[in-house]
């Protein structure tokens, strides 16, 4: 699905958002996008409604191993939450309008806090596979932007500010919760590259030189699109989606260790770290 006409795009977003409202009744204000191998959190929710992506207007199926391809609405403790188990990537051939369609739909349906997660390669040589990293900022190395084309004026400004995409408040809360759990939470800059080939050693060195700590193939377009959206609340004041980002370092990026990279390694490490990830995210959702 590629939509270049703003009216068509807004119509599709309203259709998808209305579908979620009808299926879920009251849409939770908190949502999380789960990266490769991180779907276990969705399995911990109770009183769930599971909607395969293929049933949601405008959503294609996800074709990546480790991505379930379903929206799960349920309770994290007593907190209503939406978990998106799987996402769409540009390397699958999807246009960026499709890649960010779920994030925009969630916001249109009523989500106001969005946690975006991913499996990433470690660029910072102090990191180790299995580490969790709070995303402080990002670098876009793809040369593409989900806001290309005619601006969706109904959502936000033509030239949105990007100085604080990832909420400092959520970042502090992540570190407070990690400290309570005895977890050594890292912090750093996430670098977005197109994939699907893993980065070369030279590209990893370049990412490190410019300040990157982790590298991956997702997250940034969703964060840009969600940051673009501005709502007016009942008092007429502007309201934005608060964004948090977490990377699971599933492997050290190319050239750091003397072995080739595989997707099996990514999913294996994600499975091993899923308990710590789930524990942190569960506490985060309940304390936001």
Residue 92 annotated among the catalytic residues of the structure = yes
Total residue count of the chain as it appears in this document: 288
Residue 119 known to be catalytic: yes
Which positions ≥6 away from 233 have C-beta within 8 Å? 239
Reply yes or no on whether 167 is catalytic. no
| 94 is annotated as an active-site residue | no
| Burial bucket for residue 23 (CB in 10 Å: 0-12, 13-18, 19+) | middle
Distance CA 23, CA 26 (A): 9
Q: Which of 83, 120, 217, 270 is the catalytic position?
A: 217
Among the options 85, 167, 227, 251, which is catalytic?
251
Residue 198 annotated to the active site: no
Catalytic residue among 43, 206, 263, 265: 263
User: What is the torsional sign of CA 273, 277, 278, 283?
Assistant: positive
CB atoms within 10 A of CB 126: 9
Active-site residue, 251 included:
yes
Catalytic annotation present for 227? no
Residue from 3, 31, 67, 270 carrying the catalytic annotation: 67
Catalytic residue among 108, 119, 214, 273: 119
| Rounded Cα gap, residues 276 and 287, in angstroms | 17
* DSSP class per residue in 136-153: EEEEE-SS--TT-SS--T
Single out the catalytic residue among 1, 14, 43, 92.
92
Helix (H), strand (E) at residue 83? strand 79-85
Verify whether residue 218 is a known catalytic residue: yes
* Residues labelled catalytic: 36, 67, 89, 91-92, 119, 217-218, 251, 263
């Amino acid at each position: 699905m590629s939509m270049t006409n703003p009216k068509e795009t807004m119509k599709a977003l309203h259709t998808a958002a209305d579908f979620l409202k009808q299926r879920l009744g009251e849409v939770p204000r908190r949502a999380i996008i789960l990266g490769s191998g991180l779907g276990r959190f969705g399995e911990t929710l109770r009183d769930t409604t599971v909607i395969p992506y293929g049933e949601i207007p405008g959503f294609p199926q996800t074709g990546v191993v480790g991505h379930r391809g379903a929206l799960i609405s349920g309770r994290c403790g007593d907190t209503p939450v939406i978990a998106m188990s799987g996402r769409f990537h540009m390397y699958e051939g999807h246009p960026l309008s499709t890649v960010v369609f779920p994030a925009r739909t969630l916001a249109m349906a009523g989500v106001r806090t969005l946690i975006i997660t991913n499996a990433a390669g470690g660029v910072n040589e102090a990191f180790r596979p299995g580490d969790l990293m709070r995303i402080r900022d990002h670098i876009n190395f793809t040369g593409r932007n989900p806001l290309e084309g005619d601006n969706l004026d109904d959502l936000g400004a033509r030239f949105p500010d990007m100085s604080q995409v990832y909420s400092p408040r959520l970042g502090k809360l992540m570190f407070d919760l990690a400290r309570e759990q005895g977890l050594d939470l890292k912090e750093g800059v996430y670098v977005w590259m197109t994939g699907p080939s893993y980065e070369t050693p030279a590209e990893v060195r370049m990412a490190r030189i410019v300040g990157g700590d982790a590298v991956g193939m997702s997250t940034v377009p969703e964060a840009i699109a969600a940051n673009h959206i501005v709502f007016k609340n009942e008092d007429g004041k502007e309201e934005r989606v608060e964004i948090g980002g977490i990377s699971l370092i599933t492997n050290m990026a190319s050239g750091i260790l003397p072995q080739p990279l595989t997707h099996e390694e990514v999913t294996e490490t994600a499975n091993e770290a899923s308990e710590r990830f789930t524990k942190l995210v569960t506490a985060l959702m309940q304390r936001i």
